[in-house]
Amino acid sequence: MKGLFTKEERIEYGLRYEPILLPVIAKALNDTIVKTDYVFSLMDFQGEQTWSELKVRSKDYSHQDPCMKEGWLIPAGKMIWACHKVSEGYDVWFFYLWERDSSLWAYKFHPHDTTVFKVGVPNNHADNQLHYWIPPDKWELVATIDLSKVQERSRRCLIQDD
């Protein structure tokens, strides 16, 4: 997203995929999940046994880009919150959709990971927010998604009606 989007536009950009990906994520988790009530919730989806977060990367990026070899970013606040949910008995998952190749990837959170993964503020982060870099080998390809129902109009992205 290269800083071209406002915070609100970045949120909207990710929200456009949630209706398409919710059933795919539910199937991957083998759990019934629902969208969390509030757009600024720490996680996007809650299930009976799981919490999950979806990150969407535009066609400007690929999971194969050299800069992604260091890791895929997850905000530190979400990782810390995930520690609490795991201690309550939930599984916590993070998902990345790479729009360029329509691939959806999953990482199952483990509290120990917060002690071994790189943590810091990414150079180009608009909010100077602390993040963890999750190494690419920790992510598993879940699916290749048909994104044909998603349409972009003047940087506002909407779900097409059937």
Give the model's confidence band at 4: pLDDT under 50 very low, under 70 low, under 90 confident, else very high. low
pLDDT in tens, 76-97: 999 999 999 999 999 999 999 9
Nearest of 161, 106, 100, 104 to residue 138 by alpha carbon: 106
Please list, residue by residue across 31-52, b when 16 or more beta carbons sit within 10 angstroms of its beta carbon and e when fewer do. bebeebeeeeebbbbbbeebbb
pTM over the 0.75 mark:
yes
Extents of the domains making up the chain: 7-159
CATH class of the structural domain 7-159 = alpha beta
